[in-house]
Amino acid sequence: MIRVARWVLRSLWIAGATALVVVALRTVMGPARVERLYRQDEVKRFHPTGGHGLGQLAGETFLVVLCAWGARRWLRVKL
């Protein structure tokens, strides 16, 4: 029971931190407004295609791995 309460309390701390970020974002950006409506069809734009999709996945994976490798090699990032 105490253990469950501890997990709930920790989750509440995380929810609080999340709320801080969300409130800050909402304050800076304001609510979504029709005057700033984005008019492109994003569902059509991101229609899944095998070639492009796998290319994008490979590209993003490469970028993350490159950042990790660079951080270890040149910034000597480690704990």
Total site size for another protein, rule CB under 8 A: 45
Distances (CA, A) of 55 to 32, 41, 59, 62: 32, 22, 6, 10
- Rounded to an integer, what distance in angstroms lies between the CA atom of residue 3 and that of residue 45? 47
Q: Which is nearer to another protein, 1 or 78 (CB)?
A: 78
The contact mask relative to another protein for 40-59 (x = CB under 8 A, - = no) is: --xx-xxxxx--xxxxxx--
Report if residue 17 touches another protein, rule: CB under 8 A: yes
**Contact, 63 vs 57, CB < 8 A?**
no
Residue 71 DSSP SS3: helix
**Contact, 77 vs 71, CB < 8 A?**
yes
Report if residue 25 touches another protein, rule: CB under 8 A: yes
Contacting residues toward another protein, per CB under 8 A = 7, 10-11, 14, 17-18, 21-22, 25, 29, 32-34, 36-38, 42-43, 45-49, 52-57, 60-61, 63-72, 75, 77-79
